[in-house]
Amino acid sequence: MQKFNFKLEKVLSYKEQQEEMFQQELAQIKVKLKEANDDLNRLVHNKEELQIKIKEQEKGKIDLQKAINYRDYIEVLKVKIKEQEEVVSEIEAILEECRQKLLEKKKECEMLKKLKERKFTEYQTEFFRKEQKNIDELATNNFNRNVEEIEAVGGI
């Protein structure tokens, strides 16, 4: 009997390659998201430090020009923070979309793997059935030959 051949093996292989591609893409997007979050955290930290400096200056001698510059820079940081939050949100949306595509590819691969397993089980069942049939035929032929030999010798 010929060896097992899954007719959709090329499709399964292609789906597995797509799954791997989406896993790599997801990893790259996660790196981008981490970098974007790091940038956002850096901006927030800078704004908080600047606010602390302003409060410390208010306790002592106030340099009006410095205070104005700090406040202006805080406003710039607020705008940059808002923009960076939008960047983070966009990357998170892309990440979720990629996760969904990856999940879909995983399901497709799993479905094909289960089908392959089922087809292999059917192949094995058919193989063993044919093997048993061959063994039964050999046993029957041997029995018939023995009976014929006994009859030829004058037995039965």
Q: What is the pLDDT of residues 26-74, one digit of tens each?
A: 999 999 999 999 999 999 999 999 888 888 877 877 777 887 888 899 9
Residue pair 3/120 in contact by the 8 Å Cβ criterion = no
Amino acid at 49: E
Q: What is the mean pLDDT of residues 84-111?
A: 97
Q: Is residue 79 part of a domain?
A: yes
* Segments forming the whole domain that contains residue 16: 9-113
Q: Is 154 a member of any domain?
A: no
Identify which of 72, 83, 8, 74 has the alpha carbon closest to the alpha carbon of residue 39: 83
pLDDT at 99: 97
C-alpha to C-alpha distance for 44 and 81, rounded to whole angstroms: 7
Residue 130 lies in a domain: no
CA-nearest of 153, 149, 123 to 4 is 123
| In-domain check, residue 149 | no
Largest CA distance in the chain: 133
pLDDT band at 1 (very low <50, low <70, confident <90, very high): low
Quote the pLDDT of residue 77.
96
Q: Is residue 119 part of a domain?
A: no
Above 60 in pLDDT, residue 156? no
CA distance linking residue 15 with residue 101, whole number of Å: 12
99-144 pLDDT, tens digit per residue, is 999 999 999 999 999 999 999 999 999 999 999 999 999 989 888 8
Average pLDDT over residues 3-11: 92
pLDDT for the residue numbered 144: 86
Residue 120 in domain? no
Q: How far is CA 124 from CA 95, 99, 114, 129, in A?
A: 43, 37, 15, 8
Q: Does residue 15 form part of some domain?
A: yes
Residue 119 token pair: 């087809």
The per-residue pLDDT for 119 is 94
Average pLDDT of span 142-149: 84
141, two tokens: 């032929």
Helices (H), the chain: 9-59, 64-153
Rounded Cα gap, residues 56 and 50, in angstroms: 10
Question: How many domains, the chain?
Answer: 1
Q: Is residue 126 part of a domain?
A: no
* Distance from C-alpha of 132 to C-alpha of 139, rounded to nearest angstrom: 10
pLDDT of residue 143: 87
